[in-house]
Amino acid sequence: MCARPSDDDDDDDEDEEEDGVVASTSTTTLLVRRARVPRSKWFNLTVDGAHVEFFADACARFREETRAFGADVALGVDFSSRAAADALGLFDDGGPPFVYAPFRLFTRSDGRHAALEREACERASGVLALCSSDERFVVERFLSTEKSRDERCIRVTHPPLRASVSELASSMTSSDDDGVRRRRYLTCAVRVSEEKAPDRFVAACEELARRGAFDSGELTPLFCANASLVASSAYAAALVARFRACAPNGRVVETFLSPEELGAIFRETALNVHPPSHDAFGMTVVEAAAFGAPTMLHADGDIGAAEFLRPGVECVGANMEASARDVADRVEETLVDPNTRVVAAAAASRALAWDESSFAEEVCDFLMSLVAE
């Protein structure tokens, strides 16, 4: 059960390609139902988005079908799923256990979500967290004392590498990665918003440019800054302007990247820089690793990916809250350190091993443990 955008002039007839069977085997049929939400709210996952329309349409169109389906367990993603589950009758007497998966804890950056996320956690039989930091946040802020003491109610399961990225990375030959000198990019591939702190990367690039680090062309800074976000954010626009000014030969990637395009960048990345102090996970850290690019990240912060790829073992630890001069020093040290390639190889092996099947098995184990309870 998910949402799809709908224009005002859409008719009420269900599109068989939008709502229906999407996969079928001899033992399993996968049905997807899509509630219609206004296209004007489609790109917003916060309380300003279409969460009210989501559960209203779910209740109107799919309640009886959902109850007749007789699910063993229900899995809901983010706060909007709690109200939809309620509208679908999943919390009625005899309903299945509801597992809440906050892929993003919105309360961390916007207090308007606190009551919604707290209710989702309290109503849920179990919570599936992406990282230990999110687990602590949920326990401390959203769960009752009795529930927070029950270790069976919450589990941390790191997200997997997408199959399309994993398959592409696995198909690379060893000749694609025979040394740092073949890799020319110093890359930053986070969303250009304040909580991701890309200004730290830009400040480090300004310091490196002052030192002449980019003059020879052997190292090229690359900044992923989606054009649509830059057009709507003064913060993003100012950062891109600063980046272009300090590194005229640098590269700004303004489009949404397909797995192939992402792979092409990371295959040429000498070092990926992940600048925030907190991140629920940081999937680009794992994606970079899959293509042999090590990541430098905040070692003492709450970065989910740093639980999966350990600083000093499968990623490069740094103090990203330090001065631009100190961060630039750490970048230069890392680029010439022979151990960086050892770290990169370990990271690639770890990233490729944790695939969608491994993740699914662990999630299903958690879901079925709650069914048994």
Task: Check which CATH number belongs to the domain holding 125 and give it.
Answer: 3.40.50.2000
Q: Would the pTM of this model clear 0.95, i.e. be above it?
A: no
Q: Residue 327 to residues 105, 205, 214, 322: CA-CA distances in angstroms?
A: 28, 9, 16, 6
* Count of domains for the chain: 2
Q: Residue 71 to residues 27, 203, 288, 299, 370: CA-CA distances in angstroms?
A: 16, 52, 38, 42, 13
d(CA 271, CA 316): 9
Question: Within this chain, do residues 152 and 106 fall inside the same structural domain, yes or no?
Answer: yes
When pLDDT is averaged across residues 83-97 and rounded to a whole number, the result is 91
Structural domain boundaries, residue 244: 163-353
d(CA 71, CA 159): 24
Question: Within this chain, do residues 317 and 344 fall inside the same structural domain, yes or no?
Answer: yes
When pLDDT is averaged across residues 221-242 and rounded to a whole number, the result is 93
Give the chain's length. Answer: 373
Taking the alpha carbons at both ends of the chain, their separation in whole angstroms is 24
- Answer yes or no: is pLDDT of 15 > 80: no
What is the residue whose two structure tokens read 């068989």?
16
Look at residue 147 in the predicted model and tell me its pLDDT.
60
Collapsed DSSP state (helix, strand, coil) of residue 141: helix
Asked whether the CA dihedral 90, 96, 97, 103 is positive or negative, the reply is negative
Question: Within this chain, do residues 206 and 144 fall inside the same structural domain, yes or no?
Answer: no
Those residues with Cβ within 8 angstroms of residue 261's Cβ, 6 or more apart along the chain or in another chain: 255
Question: Within this chain, do residues 170 and 153 fall inside the same structural domain, yes or no?
Answer: no
Q: Residue 38 to residues 8, 9, 228, 262, 330: CA-CA distances in angstroms?
A: 8, 11, 20, 30, 47
When pLDDT is averaged across residues 42-52 and rounded to a whole number, the result is 90
Question: Within this chain, do residues 195 and 130 fall inside the same structural domain, yes or no?
Answer: no
DSSP state of 26: S
Question: Within this chain, do residues 320 and 190 fall inside the same structural domain, yes or no?
Answer: yes
d(CA 234, CA 169): 35
Look at residue 127 in the predicted model and tell me its pLDDT.
95
Those residues with Cβ within 8 angstroms of residue 218's Cβ, 6 or more apart along the chain or in another chain: 181, 184
Please write the tens of the pLDDT for every residue from 268-303. 999 999 999 988 899 999 999 999 999 999 988 789
Question: Within this chain, do residues 275 and 360 fall inside the same structural domain, yes or no?
Answer: no
Question: Within this chain, do residues 365 and 312 fall inside the same structural domain, yes or no?
Answer: no
Question: Within this chain, do residues 361 and 344 fall inside the same structural domain, yes or no?
Answer: no
Please write the tens of the pLDDT for every residue from 123-182. 999 999 998 889 999 999 998 766 655 667 899 999 999 999 999 998 874 445 444 447
Question: Within this chain, do residues 136 and 216 fall inside the same structural domain, yes or no?
Answer: no
187: amino acid identity, one letter: T
Indicate the pLDDT class of residue 16, thresholds 50, 70 and 90.
Answer: very low
Look at residue 181 in the predicted model and tell me its pLDDT.
43
Look at residue 22 in the predicted model and tell me its pLDDT.
75
- Count of CB atoms situated within 10 Å of the CB of 205: 27
Mean pLDDT score across all residues of the chain: 89
Asked whether the CA dihedral 216, 217, 218, 219 is positive or negative, the reply is positive
Collapsed DSSP state (helix, strand, coil) of residue 93: coil
- Count of CB atoms situated within 10 Å of the CB of 244: 12
Look at residue 58 in the predicted model and tell me its pLDDT.
82
Look at residue 13 in the predicted model and tell me its pLDDT.
47
Look at residue 96 in the predicted model and tell me its pLDDT.
93
- Share of residues in the chain with pLDDT > 90 (%): 67
Q: Identify the CA nearest to 268 among candidates 335, 173, 337, 181.
A: 181
- DSSP3 helix / strand / coil % (the chain, rounded to 5): 50, 15, 35
Helix (H) or strand (E) holding 363: helix 356-372
Question: Within this chain, do residues 349 and 361 fall inside the same structural domain, yes or no?
Answer: no
